[in-house]
Amino acid sequence: MIPINDHPLGATFAVRVHPSGARTAITGTVGDALKLTLSAPPLEGRANVALAEFFSEIFSVPRGAVQVVTGIRSRNKVIRIAGRSAAELQQRLRGHFTV
């Protein structure tokens, strides 16, 4: 499991994004980052919107609670989920995926 850190505004974790895939899914880990394949292309922020929608469903939070903290234009990103602790995110990831 990847490291997830508590932050005063929520919990943060690293993601490595692979845009323009066949479907949106978590496909494993890369080092300390979650590997995420997105069906959206990396044009005009569409991949970041798809990322926010995907994580809002997984963690049961509003889309606005999912923030790209660093890496807006990069494949390597740090994501913050507002209103959730690191323990809650770990539990939800374990419940949905075997990564």
Return phi, psi of residue 56, to 5°: -65, -35
Residue 43 has pLDDT above 60, yes or no: yes
Q: What is the mean pLDDT of residues 73-78?
A: 97
Return phi, psi of residue 23, to 5°: -150, 165
pLDDT category at 97 given cuts 50, 70, 90 is low
Residue 16 has pLDDT above 90, yes or no: yes
What pLDDT does residue 94 have? 86
Question: Domains along the chain?
Answer: 5-93 (3.30.1200.10)
Provide the whole-model pTM. 0.92
